[in-house]
Amino acid sequence: MASARRTGYSDVPQPQPELELDELYRELILDHYKSPRHHVKLARADVVAEGYNPVCGDEVEMQLAFDGDRLTGIGTIGRGCSISQASGSMMSELVAGKDIAEIRRLSGEFTRMMTEPGGTVPEDLGDLEALQGAAKFAARVKCATLAWHTLADGIAQHEKGDGVVRREES
C-alpha cells in the first residue's frame, strides 16, 4: 500500500531479518576450513594465480596445471576467514579435472547463487551449495567469490599464455 509507506526515508536502515549464524557456518564449511582439500603446491604448474582482498586481508594462491582445455591439477593455499578458505577448498574439489567451458558454466552458477539470495540453488555445485547462507551476509560475498575470481584470472592467463597473475579485489 503506497499510502502506508513513509516517503523520503528510503535510506533509513530497516530492521534486519534475524540471520542464524548456523546458516552461515554450516558444518560442511567448517570442515573444509579446518581440512582444506587440494591444499598442496603442484610439482608442475602452468599458471600461478594470486588473489588478495585488501579490505580484509584474505589471500589465496592457486597453482594450475592444464592439458589443453582441461584443468588437470589445482593446488589452493591461502590465509583468511572461514568463508574465503572453505570456498577455495570446495571450488578446487569441484573444478579439478573439468574442462574450461564447464568451469566457466559452474562459476556462473556459483556467482548467481551468491548474488541472488533466495533463488534456486543449482544442483551441480557440490559442497559449494553450503555457501548459500553466506549470500545473505552482504559483507561476506566477496570472501566467498575470491577463489573463483582468482581461478578465472588464472584461466584467462593460461589462454593468453602467461604464467603468473595477481588479483586485488576492489
Cβ 120 to another protein, closest distance in Å?
A: 26
Alpha-helical runs (H) found in the chain: 21-24, 27-34, 82-95, 100-115, 141-160
Cβ 51 to another protein, closest distance in Å?
A: 13
Task: Judge contact between 74 and 47, C-beta under 8 A.
Answer: no
Which residues inside 71-130 make contact with another protein, applying CB under 8 A?
Answer: 79-83
With respect to another protein, which residue has the nearer C-beta, 39 or 104? 39
Site string for another protein, 18-37 (x = CB under 8 A): xx-xx-xx----x-------
The CA radius of gyration of the chain, in Å to the nearest whole number, is 18
Q: Please choose, out of 93-101, 105-113, 137-145, 153-161, the segment that lies near another protein by the rule CB under 8 A.
A: 137-145
Three-class SS of residue 169?
A: coil
The whole-angstrom separation of Cα 102 and Cα 84 is 22
Q: Does 143 bind another protein (CB under 8 A)?
A: yes
Which residues inside 51-70 make contact with another protein, applying CB under 8 A?
Answer: 54-59
With respect to another protein, which residue has the nearer C-beta, 139 or 164? 139
The whole-angstrom separation of Cα 131 and Cα 134 is 5
Q: Please name every residue paired with 21 in a beta bridge, in sequence order, or none if there are none.
A: none
134: its cell numbers: 553466506
The whole-angstrom separation of Cα 125 and Cα 111 is 11
Site size for another protein (CB under 8 A): 23
Cβ 18 to another protein, closest distance in Å?
A: 6
Cβ 25 to another protein, closest distance in Å?
A: 5
The whole-angstrom separation of Cα 58 and Cα 80 is 4
Binding residues for another protein, per CB under 8 A? Answer: 16, 18-19, 21-22, 24-25, 30, 54-59, 79-83, 137, 139-140, 143
